[in-house]
Amino acid sequence: MNDVGFRSQRGPILISLMVTTGLVAIDATILATAVPTIVNDLGGFAQFPWLFSVYLLAQAVSVPLYAKLSDTVGRKPIILVGIALFLLGSILCALAWSMPALIAFRAVQGLGAGAVQPMAVTIAGDIYTVAERARVQGYLASVWAISAVVGPTLGGLFSEFLSWRWIFFVNIPLCLLAAWLLARSFHEKIEKRRHRVDYLGAALLTLSLTLLILAVLEGGQSWAWNSPQSIGAFAGGGLLLAGFVWAETRAAEPVLPLWVISRRLLLSTSLIGLGVGAILIGLTSYVPTYLQGSLGTSPLVAGLALATLTIGWPISATLSGRVYLRFGFRTTVLLGMVLVIAGASLLAAFGGRPNLVIVGLGCFVVGLGLGLVATPSLVAAQSSVPWNERGVVTGTNLFSRSIGSAVGVAIFGAVANVIFAAAGTGTPTPAAVEAASTSVFIAIVIAAVGVLAAALWMPDVRANALPASARSAPLPADPQQTDAD
């Protein structure tokens, strides 16, 4: 049993978590606008997609490992390690001399992000009650909303007036500030005992996920789906994943306990997270391309239209606590999925008649829906377990979103490529862009219906039916007075 304590008010901790989340949020939005400048400077146009793929890969495979470690050694050491890795990766990226070097250093950044984002969410779940967590998750989501506007703007300004290297240098003061705030404000009291590290499980999980995510990300892009590389990556990843399951049944302290997928609530919320990741990547990848290719809007205007999604999300996430406290978690998620389907259907219906206002409205409605889906499902999962399992549960939920994004990239890319190939032109015409984007929007609607099915299968858990330890804040105000989870 682990007891946790903190000396100071929760406000400074929340501020530190928002700054820490900002590291990942800004980095996720600032790089895209600088890619043309980076390619002009370093070359390697054919390799630049790896700047995003390798980051996503490193982040996804490391999340389960950090999550398990946080349940044994505490959240603070893990998130500080993540900030340190992110800082190191940012410095190396800023000094990169070639595209391969920049890609390798982006992997270091991804390893840091794999600790930062889930630990921030987990700490928020530790120090706030069920009634408060929705509002707090809304604050964290608002960081992404701000970054959706600030990131592309800074990326464009740095690329045009300074140097693309400043998009990485800007992370240095943010990392130092986040680490200082966390070290100063957040204090844990962890039960000291010997732990048996599951090295075999960690290695098998990392290798299997690396192969499988690599196969999904690069299939149909770098190689054909039926190529020896694709078949070998899927087969090798599957065999290693089977070996991981076998190892976890024999490990004293498994890195990813199998009970995570044996409990209906946790499995259903993970499936919901999988769909949320796919829907997000579909919209963020194709809405800007759709507007630029069909209407000829500037990248900034297209980015602002997409930003309505990240504006709607924190608004509804903040208000979702009132809804799930009154009607339950499943009802809240179902309401959110109705909005998601409505917004995605609006985009699909008007795909052949591009309109900036309609796109912005559709994205905003989808964002409102996702705020009622992602936050309540995560809070429900977190609140169903004690402190020493919360890191794994949070990490699994966010890991599911990463996998959903990776799979979504492959599926939506394949859908769009079929349309572009049928058009038979080297440069996609506005009509081809409209047709491909409409097909992607329809695929997003189908994915949303799948998430709705997972939400219907989710147990109807009411916040007032949770154990008292889950409904109240598990962190005492005085580290000398600790309550057991």
Residue 477 lies in a domain: no
Hey, how many other C-beta atoms are within 10 angstroms of the C-beta on 242? 12
Shared domain for 271 and 236, answered yes or no, is no
Residue 480 lies in a domain: no
Shared domain for 247 and 282, answered yes or no, is no
What pLDDT is stored for residue 462 in this prediction? 64
Residue 192 lies in a domain: no
Taking only the tens place, the pLDDT of each residue in 302-314 is 777 777 887 888 7
Amino acid occupying residue 94: A
Q: What is the mean pLDDT of residues 322-345?
A: 90
Percent residues over pLDDT 90 in the chain:
14
* pLDDT over threshold 50, residue 163: yes
Q: Pull the structure tokens for residue 305.
A: 């239209």
Residue 298 lies in a domain: yes
* pLDDT over threshold 70, residue 299: no
Shared domain for 275 and 212, answered yes or no, is no
Chain mean pLDDT for the chain: 78
CATH code for the domain of 345: 1.20.1250.20
Taking only the tens place, the pLDDT of each residue in 36-54 is 677 777 776 556 667 777 7
Q: What is the mean pLDDT of residues 425-450?
A: 84
Shared domain for 66 and 98, answered yes or no, is yes
Domain finish residue from 187, 211, 231: 187
Q: Given pLDDT bands bounded at 50, 70 and 90, which one contains residue 424?
A: low
Alpha-carbon Rg for the chain, nearest whole angstrom, is: 22
Q: Pull the structure tokens for residue 126.
A: 């530790």
Higher pLDDT, 348 or 399: 348
Q: What is the mean pLDDT of residues 115-127?
A: 80
Shared domain for 318 and 460, answered yes or no, is yes
Nearest to 114 by CA among 73, 135, 84, 137: 84
What pLDDT is stored for residue 1 in this prediction? 37
Hey, how many other C-beta atoms are within 10 angstroms of the C-beta on 199? 11
Contact of 413 with 405, CB cutoff 8 Å: no
Q: Pull the structure tokens for residue 288.
A: 């800007």
Domain finish residue from 212, 230, 252: 252
* pLDDT over threshold 60, residue 19: yes
Q: Pull the structure tokens for residue 217.
A: 């990300």
What pLDDT is stored for residue 309 in this prediction? 82
Residue 169 exposed, middle or buried by CB count within 10 Å (0-12, 13-18, 19+): middle
Taking only the tens place, the pLDDT of each residue in 439-476 is 889 999 999 999 999 999 998 876 555 554 444 444 43
Percent residues over pLDDT 70 in the chain:
82
Higher pLDDT, 300 or 82: 82
Shared domain for 16 and 132, answered yes or no, is yes
Shared domain for 450 and 333, answered yes or no, is yes
Residue 476 lies in a domain: no
Shared domain for 182 and 227, answered yes or no, is no
Taking only the tens place, the pLDDT of each residue in 42-101 is 776 556 667 777 787 788 778 777 877 777 777 888 889 999 999 999 999 989 888 888
Residue 110 lies in a domain: yes
Q: Pull the structure tokens for residue 315.
A: 């608004």
Higher pLDDT, 219 or 226: 226
Hey, how many other C-beta atoms are within 10 angstroms of the C-beta on 189? 16
What pLDDT is stored for residue 455 in this prediction? 92
Residue 276 lies in a domain: yes
Taking only the tens place, the pLDDT of each residue in 353-400 is 888 889 989 999 999 999 899 888 888 887 877 766 777 787 788 788
Shared domain for 272 and 211, answered yes or no, is no
What pLDDT is stored for residue 469 in this prediction? 47
Residue 244 lies in a domain: yes
- Give how many domains the chain has, as a whole number: 3
Shared domain for 247 and 272, answered yes or no, is no
What pLDDT is stored for residue 336 in this prediction? 93
Shared domain for 161 and 16, answered yes or no, is yes
Domain finish residue from 210, 228, 252: 252
Q: Given pLDDT bands bounded at 50, 70 and 90, which one contains residue 134?
A: low
Shared domain for 244 and 277, answered yes or no, is no
Q: Given pLDDT bands bounded at 50, 70 and 90, which one contains residue 406?
A: confident
Higher pLDDT, 4 or 383: 383
* pLDDT over threshold 70, residue 193: no
What pLDDT is stored for residue 6 in this prediction? 43
pTM of the model: 0.75
Q: Which domain, by its residues, includes 87?
A: 7-187
Q: Pull the structure tokens for residue 32.
A: 């895209």
